[in-house]
Amino acid sequence: MATVSQLNNFPCKIVLTTPQHHKVNSKTSILPVNSINRTPNSIKKSQIFSKNSIRARPVFQVRAVDDDEWGPDREEEPVTESTGVAVAEEEKPKEVVEIESLKKALVDSFYGTDRGLKATSETRAEIFELITQLEAKNPTPAPTEALPLLNGKWILAYTSFPGLFPLLSRGQLPLVKVEEISQTIDAESFTVQNCVQFSGPLASSSISTNAKFEVRSPKRVQIKFQEGIIGTPQLTDSIVLPENVEFLGQKIDLTPIKGLLTSVQDTASSVAKTISSRPPLKFSLSNSNAESWLLTTYLDEELRISRGDAGSVFVLIKDGSALLTP
């Protein structure tokens, strides 16, 4: 015999019917059984049932039906999977969603600006507006009290500081490309290192500065530079030539030339090893211009916005963050 739970698995309709044996003659009165031995007065007091006072008990019949019998207007039950997705999206705070959207829009606006060097006035206005909106939603109102968040290596993604533009300009440094500008903060020793990495056709090198910082307010730190460092150049120690080259439609065999370059390769390798073994060149930065301040206006686990002298702005991304991926 089918159980109730099994019947629930089938679509069904409930049909209300009235059994034939419940029909009542309108001319006939029905008296209670125990009213036969009663007096007329007691009979009057008894309840007399007529056609109008007796209602047939409804009988319910259950029958299975096809899905089509419900008609085209039948409401579909919500799909569990789609409902689950909607709930997951609602669980994310609105503030977090807005911040993530602003961060993505800000990083996208840096495209083609070469860290701000090639940004047009319209692009700068757009970037400034996005920065202002993020600063208003800063999840870390006291960055200097959250030193673990400040700690680590930060990659410069954009700046309006004109002092860096000569370094970024290829016209000022022919054949030299700026690979990376970074700032490394050690929150335990209260030190900061700014570093610029260059690459050229024959070597790569870096220039960096070491500084100490002091906390002056919940958002502001005072930076005092102590020394500059010129990294040891890393030279190319080998010359690789193809077997042949094509010039004016003719192939030129370079095999004989390779023999002549053997001594050149040995010399280049020797020079590279000699220079690479030397320590970096350090120089002191003790003058009055070697001090600055920095105001952190936005900080989270992967993005930092700081403002410096003359209203310049710096946008830095934590090394290893997905925001660095194009």
Give the pLDDT of residue 40: 47
Give which of 177, 181, 142 is closest to 161, Cα–Cα.
Answer: 181
Give the pLDDT of residue 144: 94
Rg (CA), the chain: 43
> Domains along the chain?
4-75 (no CATH), 142-232+279-324 (2.40.128.280)
Pairwise CA distance, residues 116 & 97, whole Å: 27
- Positions of the chain with pLDDT lower than 50, given as ranges: 1-54, 60, 62, 64, 67-70, 74, 79-89, 171
**Which residue carries 């460092």 as its tokens?**
229
Give the pLDDT of residue 128: 96
Q: What are the start-end ranges of the E strands in 51-190? A: 59-64, 152-159, 177-186
* Beta pairing partners, 253: 244
Pairwise CA distance, residues 94 & 173, whole Å: 46
**Which residue carries 């000022």 as its tokens?**
172
Half-sphere exposure of 175 (CA within 13 A, CB side): 5
**Which residue carries 């290893």 as its tokens?**
320
Give the pLDDT of residue 122: 96
Pairwise CA distance, residues 308 & 159, whole Å: 10
Give the pLDDT of residue 54: 46
User: What is the separation, in whole angstroms, between the first and last Cα of the chain?
Assistant: 65
DSSP state of 117: T
Give the pLDDT of residue 170: 54
